[in-house]
Amino acid sequence: MTAYKHAPNRSLRRRLAVVGVVAAGGLLLAACGGNDMGGMDHGSGSSASATATQNAGDNPAPGAFNDADVSFAQMMIPHHEQAVDMAKLAEGRASDAEIKTLAADIEKAQDPEIQTMKSWLKAWGKPESADESMPGMDHGSSGMDHSGMSGMMSDEDMKKLEAAKGTEFDRMFAEMMIEHHKGAIAMAKDEQKNGRNATAKKLAADVVKSQSAEVEKFEKILDRI
């Protein structure tokens, strides 16, 4: 009787053992599957990091930036654009050889800088004009009037310059460009003081150096014409 009672218990224990082995095997397979998926996740994460690094490398003004950097680019773009417009007027109007040379130098230097600053704003996700980020403003009209900006010429000033020729143009151009350059220098010095982006601050330093030198040249021209 005792043997009869214990026999079924031994059989039951064997079955439980088999079930336990199968369950353990299932858990092991699940664990392996989880590791494989984890490996796939890590792989995709590495790919995303590589893409992010590549994009960062394409940034024309990498690193941190602040509102001063954005304002510098947004204001300097129309400022440079007007200087280029003024320089283009020299062709066919200026009579002084040095005025012609300086006008060509201004156009050659500032036109590429305009494109450079536009690329910064695009990379930073900011509009090219400060007016575009100010709600409730008439962008159609305000975007054209920058005469209140430091050193900017009014529409009337530009019309006078366009109508002048010869020595009159040379003197007017020199006087206006001195004022224009001083406005740009002030804006650049503000960027050097308050900006954060290294690339923007480097351009600001270049503006201060190059335009200060041109101001001196224009002043000397005024002394002799």
CA nearest 62: which of 193, 196, 205, 208? 196
> Is the pLDDT reported for residue 209 higher than 80?
yes
Nearest Cα neighbor of 80 from 28, 52, 116 is 116
Which CATH number belongs to the domain containing residue 213 in this structure? 1.20.1260.10
Domain range for residue 34? 1-58
33 and 109 housed in the same domain: no
Number of domains in the chain: 2
pLDDT at 80 over 70: yes
Q: Are both 129 and 167 inside the same structural domain?
A: yes
pLDDT of 87 higher than 90: yes
User: How confident is the model at residue 130, as a pLDDT?
Assistant: 81
Residue 56: what pLDDT? 53
Q: Are residues 107 and 4 in the same domain?
A: no
DSSP class of 154: P
d(CA 76, CA 65): 16
Same domain, residue pair 120 and 86 = yes
Alpha helices in 90-165, H assignment, sequence order: 97-124, 139-142, 155-163
Query: Within the chain, where are the H helices?
Result: 2-58, 67-89, 97-124, 139-142, 155-163, 166-194, 198-224
Q: Are residues 154 and 216 in the same domain?
A: yes
Domain boundary among 58, 88, 106: 58
120 and 165 housed in the same domain: yes
Q: What is the pLDDT of residue 147?
A: 55
Within this chain, do residues 163 and 205 fall inside the same structural domain, yes or no? yes
The pLDDT of residue 22 is above 60: no
pLDDT at res. 148: 64
Across 4-18, 33-47, 49-63, 103-117, which has the greatest mean pLDDT? 103-117
pLDDT, tens digit, 9 for 90 and up, residues 174-187: 999 999 999 999 99
**102-113 average pLDDT score:** 97
**Does 79 share its domain with 132?**
yes
pLDDT at 150: 85
Per-residue confidence band for 13, with pLDDT thresholds at 50, 70 and 90: very low
How does the average pLDDT of the chain come out, rounded?
79
Residues 48 and 71 in one domain: no
Who has greater pLDDT, 58 or 179? 179
**Same domain? 207 vs 123:** yes
For 129-162, letters b (16+ CB in 10 Å) and e give bbbeeeeeeeeeeeeeebeebbbbbeeebbeebe
pLDDT on residue 58: 82
* Residue 207 to residue 113: CA distance in whole angstroms: 10
pLDDT of 57: 60
Query: For residues 36 and 162, is the Cβ–Cβ distance under 8 A?
Result: no
pLDDT at 152: 97
Q: What is the C-alpha radius of gyration for the chain, rounded to an integer number of angstroms?
A: 35
In terms of domains, do 4 and 32 share one? yes
Same domain, 71 and 11: no
Mean pLDDT for the stretch of residues 154-158:
96
Q: How far apart are CA 161 and CA 168, in angstroms?
A: 9
